[in-house]
Structure 1
Amino acid sequence: MLKKDNGGNCPKENSQEITPMMQQYYKMKEQSGEAILFFRLGDFYEMFDEDAQTASKELELTLTSRSKSPMCGIPYHAAEGYINKLINKGYKVAICEQIGDPKAKGLTKREIIKIVTPGTVMNESALPGLQNNYIALIHENGNKLILAGADISTGECFYSVYEGSGRCQVLCDELYRLMMAELLIIEGISCKEKICEFLSLHIPKCVITKIKEISPAVDDRITEHFDADNRPARAEASAAIATLLDYLHLTAKTDLSHLNHLTYLDASTNLVIDAYTLRNLEITHNLHDGGKKGTLFSVLDFTGTAMGSRKLSKWLEYPLLDRYKIEQRLDAVEEMVNDFSRREQLSTQLKSIYDFERLLTRVEIGSANARDMLALKKSLYALPQLKSSLHGSKAALLQEIDKNIQTYEDLAALLEKSIADNPGFLLRDGGIIKDGFDEELDEYRHLASDSQSLLQHMEDEERQKTGIKSLKISYNKVFGYYIEIRKSNLEQVPDNYIRKQTLVNTERYITPTLKEFETKILGAQEKILQIEYRLFTEVREEVKKHVASIQVTAHNIACLDVITAFAETASAYNYIRPAINGNGSIVIKDGRHPLIERILTREIFVPNDTILDNGENEILIITGPNMAGKSTYMRQTALLTLMAQAGSFIPAREAIISPVDRIFTRIGASDDLASGQSTFMVEMNEVAHILKYATKNSLIILDEIGRGTSTFDGMSIARAVIEYIRDKVAAKTLFATHYHELTDLEDDKHVKNYCVAVREKGSKVSFLRRIVSGSADKSYGIHVAKLAGLPKAVTDRAEKILADLETADKEKNSSPKTTVPAKETAPQPMMDTLFASTLSTELMKLDVSTMTPLEAMNILYKLQQHAKREAGKL
């Protein structure tokens, strides 16, 4: 959403009538631009004018006034929570702090110390822990669109360049993968309207920020952040990256040297998944609310760290294309699957590792507190055990990870000696450094906690030195600490005593030692805080020296976490290792849908086979009733292919996967109303996109093409699409349709007919969820209507109308048909085989020796119900 400018101009009243403080406020407001200005006044952040009205509404604050200006405020110590609320609503917040001495005469000096935006927020409480918080920028140069992006909370920085007629759509696909919190658009982008429309439909929470021009010092900004071997070759890419970095420096106003490694997003090295497919297959975001629940990610997420969870999302959104790299991941997963003890050890050890990436960022920018250091110490302590568990790995990828993980024993020892075991959250509260780490700190702590006993000890020493038994050390607010001696003992006063005050019967003295003691006692607590902060920053600077190295370790830990998660999923859900080949075929035996089989609780998921290649099984036309499982089957094939190329085991009995370069899907029309386009127009746009970019190495999933228009129009378009794919594209295709007439396209070269097995017994119909060779001759729509709960009167009337229509059609078309006769839906011998295969898989999973009688009865009942359904008796 694009938030409008909240003002920033001074009131119309004569500036001489405005107080100096408000003049200062309006000056700061002009600098903050569209951001809501938090103006520090004592112990509060105050907002005025339009900012106050906005904040009072969004934060439910009481609106007051000052000098006729609307005003509201919040306590400074509670600001983080309020800032987070505004950021989550798409606003920006500028923090204006008092940087001068508040007790000094005149107006306190103030400056904007940072501007918090959705893409630059650094507060841990505001960041999505298991997701990246990306900010991206789009720049256009000639016929090139350049994307630059970063996550300043983790240190990632990347870019890509898009060319060709479809560059805007490819860019939008990338934006959908990023799900960034904020997008910067440099003015003059030719496809800005299309990008903004795409964001409003698919990433509505993304804040759009306009940038007037590119960075005026591109080379300086690039050399500041990246070494010579890590800079983009293209000048236009450098301009985009430098402009993004300028914005980050302008808003964060802190050290951003951790943004030091630049990654080029090269689509040629990955399986390309466009926005439609990411959405339709619910890979990392569901269709309901965009969350993780009910996605492929949620099924596979056995990760133990936040870094691993973010890495899992990337592996699923950017599956591999290179067979060798895929095999490397599968080798590592297989070794973990076969070594339960090692997997258990690693899973436990990974759970003790905190979010290195964001911890290191807070260290780099100087915002890390003592608890961050404690989390870092605990994480570092886990590394030696992690390496020990990896020792002896045979898989090349595990060996590489082991090699790249360092242990940092010296740094862990420093943190152990220095940081308190239970430090406060705020550095200014103290209690963050351990006793025994620094002699001076220990001395001041001793003074603060035991000043009376130390004073008594000093008094006893002075009595012993001088021989004056009546000598006393006392204190008052006027003179501080002093030594009091009766006038009868003045001859015994040492030469180093300095007379301070004369009374009737006594004299009062001070000594350099006593004065030093007084200074220490009176300033002990303040000094303790100063020393602790100094020591803490020294420790933090020592950690900072290792940031780049620990970032490499963090990356490898994240990869190890995903591999371990894949192995845990495979073990828990009975997944197998797919064989990877390069002959263009996809052969899956007894494949299962990874999401739906996890949802089913009262019935057994029916597995299915898939055979696709660039020969006689290139296009599979799938017919059968709605709700019988066609869409599930097609999604299942796409998901299993994607999982294999991500390096995961898959739910099947056997599988051979030849990597595909792209997966295209056309399923459903969830955005039709929101986009303002008809269902049919959205459908045709997506089909056009598929036919334009698909290659012979692609996998295409098309579900019910042509249903948004008239029967003959839809059938004609569906047939033409199949013929185009067959004759021009030659991609592996699953094509589900309710147009039975299309089954006459079957041939021995490219096209095969398949259908969903159905068993009819009288008026009862059972969907067996099994995909078999052949074509369906009925839609069973009325049966589906019954399942959906339509009134019996409606379905009975529908059956009567259907019978009349079928009779009329037969009479009208009494001449011999030219189409291929529909094949038998479900031959009995085949169904017997299928039935046995389904139940045998479940039976082989059972460990009968460990079951209780009650568990055995429950499982037997479940299997019996499934058998009855397949036999058409339920």
Structure 2
Amino acid sequence: MMSQYTPMIQQYLSIKAAHQDAFLFFRLGDFYEMFFDDAVQAAQILEITLTSRDGGSQDRIPMCGVPYHSSAGYIKTLVENGYKVAICEQVEDPKQAVGVVKREVIQIITPGTVIDDHLLQDRENNYLVSIERENDLFAYVLCDLSTGELKGYTYIGNQLSFIQLLLSQGVKEIVGDEELHTDWNEKMSLNGQASISVQQETTVEEKFQHLTIDITPLPLLKAAGRLFHYLNYTQKRSFQHLKPVEYQQNDLRMKLDAFSKRNLELTESIRAKGKKGSLLWLLDSTMTAMGARKLKQWVEEPLFVKKTIEKRLQLVEELINEFFIREEMKEQLKSVYDMERLIAKISYGNASPRDLVQLKRSLLSVPVLKEKISQIPGEYASEIYEKMKDHKELAQFLDSAVHDEAPVQIKEGGIIKKGYNAKLDEYKDASMNGKAWIAALEQKEKTETGIKSLKIGFNKIFGYYIEVTKSNLSMVPAERYERKQTLANAERYVTPELKEKERIILEAEEKISGLEHTLFLEVREYVKQYIPGLQQLASAISELDVIQSFAAISEQYRYVRPTVSEDGKVNIVGGRHPVVEKVMDAQEYVPNDIFLNNERNMLLITGPNMAGKSTYMRQLALTAIMMQIGCFVPAEQAELPMFDQIFTRIGAADDLVGGQSTFMVEMLETNFALTSATENSLILLDEIGRGTSTYDGMALAQSIIEFIHERIQAKTLFSTHYHELTVLENSLPSLKNVFVSAVEENGSLVFLHKVIDGQADKSFGIQVAELADLPQDVIQRAKTILQTYEKQEKNEALPIQEVSAAKEEVQESQLSLFAEKSTVSRKRDLKENDVLKDLKALNVLEMTPLEAMNALYKLHTKLK
């Protein structure tokens, strides 16, 4: 019963009833207090003391609290754990309140709506997503409230793949209807990835309609309407910084599913779950937080528009050629702060004095950036230049209004510059010169009265006074001096001039802070009119930052400009995996060629574990992605088509929470590729079928190869340990066998990491196990068992081996040169005497690795 509680607790309960899904931070004096279940749960999460208080009921009420001035850290902890926080403030002056002070929730902070710097990662977006579902169609709008960015998408597929897609985009909070909340809440909370919120209303209110003028799909409009209603409910303020919803048309960008983003380690490594070791980590030489976020967006959504790709590549090339211009740009970019988030804070009314100083300093860098980009030829450079309005008048205004060393807090004073406001200058002059005035007045009174012991003092009760000892009272000018206080040995007086000085000094000290606060709010409000232009400027700067990053990285690592193929050809000469090359010594990295066309669109890759099959596959995908985001690529020469999609199944992973085994995950990812790929796609499949029995796996692998070859006809790299599958080269005209070479040298396995045409004759699995230092007893026993299996297979006519017997010739072995710092040779049993003579004539100890590989290639050609 509410009536059993005190009026204040009743007020708390009535407000809490409307915010059941959030911790209610209830303002009491200098603390945010929590009561009942909120207090019990928050005390445990925040590791603060749980106390209790009398609330009018028979039992004491659980209670905990955090100081108002240091609440940001506690809010951050709750939000990062997926909780919401409703901020309940006093909205009337306690001195004028009748009864309980009126309180209202002024903002609800949720994982997807945070805007405070303490709660955000500078170089990452913080996405809230709103969803509308119609059968297999998902329409959704991504919103980063901290930058004002709104992106609209449509997606057709199953629920599981859609959830994976959202999580791969780093979504922190999902807003949907009651049905979605019921279906997804437990799954998402188990994964610990994103919180689920409910908003039923989907109409777009009139005040938001200007943000959806380019949106035609009705489900997407509903998703936008749901988003705007949720923002209204949680933020309770205007949203001048929100940009129009940018509809991301599917045919204008490469589609990358969540599996592929993870397997290719585009933005985070699989093992460490961090940025280091990812493609984003390699490419990020940006100077600004805006540029870093833009780069991440480009990496996750490569282009499928040749003209735009070419424009970016052209500007990268120009900046590589113009080293000094690029370096000067970088220096200016270092002075540019996070304008996107500064603009959002200005719109929100949260911008501090220091934020406006950062905005001014950013604007002061723009003229030089414009001057440098104007020297670069090309269409894209001109587009960036046109968007880079310098806003000189705003920079001058901010420079005249706000101190360069302005504080963070609005009420600390020292914000507004001298000369901006005459009244404030008068107050500040009075405050700063008050003591000097008093000292001068004291000297003047001593001179005029002749009382040398006269002094002027101050106390909080009487203010300023002139004190004269009783022995000098006869010298006091009665016409000017007004008695104020009588002491045992002296009298205290005031004069009209002293009263005026006192009024000015005390008024100044009292009003400086208030007037500065008012003036700052006016300055901040004035800046709001520039928001659209500042956002355009911020976008241009972020794009320029990414392009200069591409140029810097491309120059540093010897990348080349790729050619966009018109006929579906992939021709990469000396290709490298960009991240692996950076991590290891570049001189030790073995580059590889890749050639595919419409007659050779499928490579079946064999070779031992650890030889580099997965690296070879990934480097093609990463090279394609780098080209389609507009960056140079790691190769000596590169020609690639634009891929509409990339699908990967590389590496082992299970989903314990979802109850799915490694093999089930493998099949789900493979199914997504088989049902979604087109002839313009790239498919990378690694060791398909290894999670089940040999014959099941082999049969599945062959069936999948045939399906892709006959039905999809996409460019495909398929690696396998099922050597029996290499016979498919005879029956599938577009499939070619290649293998990653390795040799046994003095009983040890040496990886050459070179991919050449043909197939491996064995997997070297036991040798790899030996490299991993398995016990020798295990190794020897494995070799014995292997010999037994091999004998059995020769005696048993297994169906797939019958197919294998149809192959006319199996390549016997490979000559190899590569072992640590010196080059070694290994004789090969050659039938042709002339090849043997050539081989004996080689002085391999005096050959470079490249000369050795060229000689090997010639010998190999003769054998064919």
> TM-score, normalised on structure 2?
0.88
5 Å-filtered alignment, 1:490-569, equals: 493=479, 511=496, 515-569=499-553
Shift in Å, 1:279: 0.7
Contact 1:757 1:825 in 2 (8 A): no
> Secondary structure in 2 aligned to 1:121?
coil
Contact 1:145 1:167 in 2 (8 A): no
State the AA in 1 paired with 2:197: T
Contact 1:758 1:825 in 2 (8 A): no
Shift in Å, 1:198: 7.0
5 Å-filtered alignment, 1:681-830, equals: 681-747=664-730, 749-813=733-797, 818-821=805-808, 823-824=810-811, 827-828=814-815
**Map of 1:33 onto structure 2:** 20
CA distance in 2, matches of 1:344, 1:478: 64
**Map of 1:857 onto structure 2:** none
Can you give the 5+ residue segments of structure 1 that lack an aligned partner in the other structure? 1-13, 840-859
Contact 1:149 1:241 in 2 (8 A): no
Contact 2:176 2:226 in 1 (8 A): no
Residue 187 of structure 1 pairs with residue 187 of structure 2: no
> Secondary structure in 1 aligned to 2:635?
coil
Contact 1:118 1:207 in 2 (8 A): yes
CA distance in 2, matches of 1:185, 1:402: 40
**Map of 1:122 onto structure 2:** 115
Shift in Å, 1:274: 0.7
Among 66, 88, 91, the residue aligned to 1:74: 66
Show CA shifts across 1:158-182 (max 9, x none).
222335xx26466435413421111
**Map of 2:396 onto structure 1:** 413
> Secondary structure in 2 aligned to 1:328?
helix
> Secondary structure in 2 aligned to 1:146?
strand
Contact 2:201 2:229 in 1 (8 A): no
> Secondary structure in 1 aligned to 2:270?
coil
Contact 2:611 2:752 in 1 (8 A): yes
CA distance in 2, matches of 1:549, 1:487: 71
CA distance in 2, matches of 1:781, 1:472: 100
Contact 2:238 2:348 in 1 (8 A): yes
> TM-score, normalised on structure 1?
0.87
Show CA shifts across 1:620-663 (max 9, x none).
11111111111110111111111111111111110001111110
Show CA shifts across 1:538-586 (max 9, x none).
2212222211101101101111111111111111111111111211111
> Secondary structure in 2 aligned to 1:394?
coil
Residue 583 of structure 1 pairs with residue 571 of structure 2: no
**CA distance change for structure 1 residues 475 and 338 in 2, over 3 Å: closer, same or farther?**
closer
State the AA in 2 paired with 1:137: S
CA distance in 2, matches of 1:352, 1:149: 29
**CA distance change for structure 1 residues 142 and 281 in 2, over 3 Å: closer, same or farther?**
closer
Residue 204 of structure 1 pairs with residue 188 of structure 2: no
Show CA shifts across 1:93-118 (max 9, x none).
11112232234564222222211111
CA distance in 2, matches of 1:70, 1:155: 40
**CA distance change for structure 1 residues 61 and 866 in 2, over 3 Å: closer, same or farther?**
farther
Among 245, 252, 261, the residue aligned to 1:262: 245
Residue 351 of structure 1 pairs with residue 334 of structure 2: yes
**Map of 2:143 onto structure 1:** 150
5 Å-filtered alignment, 1:605-644, equals: 605-615=589-599, 617-644=600-627
Stretch deviating more after TM superposition (683-692 or 744-753): 744-753
**CA distance change for structure 1 residues 236 and 734 in 2, over 3 Å: closer, same or farther?**
closer
CA distance in 1, matches of 2:665, 2:137: 26
> Secondary structure in 2 aligned to 1:669?
coil
State the AA in 2 paired with 1:95: I
**Matched-pair identity in %:** 42
**Map of 1:220 onto structure 2:** 206
State the AA in 2 paired with 1:608: N
Shift in Å, 1:827: 4.3
Show CA shifts across 1:342-383 (max 9, x none).
121112221221101001111111111111112112111111
> Secondary structure in 1 aligned to 2:147?
coil
> Secondary structure in 1 aligned to 2:663?
helix
**CA distance change for structure 1 residues 200 and 499 in 2, over 3 Å: closer, same or farther?**
closer
**Map of 1:851 onto structure 2:** none
**Map of 1:368 onto structure 2:** 351
Contact 1:214 1:240 in 2 (8 A): no
**CA distance change for structure 1 residues 196 and 744 in 2, over 3 Å: closer, same or farther?**
farther
**Map of 2:661 onto structure 1:** 678
Residue 176 of structure 1 pairs with residue 163 of structure 2: no
State the AA in 2 paired with 1:712: Y
> Secondary structure in 1 aligned to 2:634?
coil
**CA distance change for structure 1 residues 432 and 761 in 2, over 3 Å: closer, same or farther?**
same
**Map of 1:855 onto structure 2:** none
CA distance in 2, matches of 1:539, 1:489: 54
Shift in Å, 1:757: 1.3
State the AA in 2 paired with 1:236: P
Q: How many residues align?
A: 818
Contact 2:167 2:193 in 1 (8 A): no
Contact 1:775 1:824 in 2 (8 A): yes
Can you give the 5+ residue segments of structure 2 that lack an aligned partner in the other structure? 55-59, 825-844, 857-864
Among 149, 154, 159, the residue aligned to 1:161: 154
Among 82, 86, 91, the residue aligned to 1:94: 86
**Map of 2:828 onto structure 1:** none
Show CA shifts across 1:701-751 (max 9, x none).
011111122211111111111111111111111010111111111148311
**CA distance change for structure 1 residues 825 and 580 in 2, over 3 Å: closer, same or farther?**
farther
**CA distance change for structure 1 residues 435 and 713 in 2, over 3 Å: closer, same or farther?**
same
RMSD: 3.4
**CA distance change for structure 1 residues 141 and 687 in 2, over 3 Å: closer, same or farther?**
closer
Contact 1:741 1:819 in 2 (8 A): no
Shift in Å, 1:600: 1.5
5 Å-filtered alignment, 1:317-336, equals: 317-336=300-319
CA distance in 1, matches of 2:292, 2:344: 18
CA distance in 2, matches of 1:596, 1:507: 85
Stretch deviating more after TM superposition (104-113 or 521-530): 104-113
CA distance in 1, matches of 2:368, 2:174: 42
Residue 594 of structure 1 pairs with residue 599 of structure 2: no
State the AA in 1 paired with 2:507: G
Contact 1:835 1:867 in 2 (8 A): no
> Secondary structure in 1 aligned to 2:578?
coil
CA distance in 2, matches of 1:198, 1:477: 65
Contact 1:332 1:563 in 2 (8 A): yes
Stretch deviating more after TM superposition (725-734 or 475-484): 475-484
**Map of 2:840 onto structure 1:** none
CA distance in 1, matches of 2:572, 2:850: 27
CA distance in 2, matches of 1:468, 1:685: 101
Shift in Å, 1:285: 2.2
**CA distance change for structure 1 residues 866 and 66 in 2, over 3 Å: closer, same or farther?**
farther
CA distance in 1, matches of 2:521, 2:440: 35
Contact 1:343 1:564 in 2 (8 A): yes
Stretch deviating more after TM superposition (435-444 or 345-354): 435-444
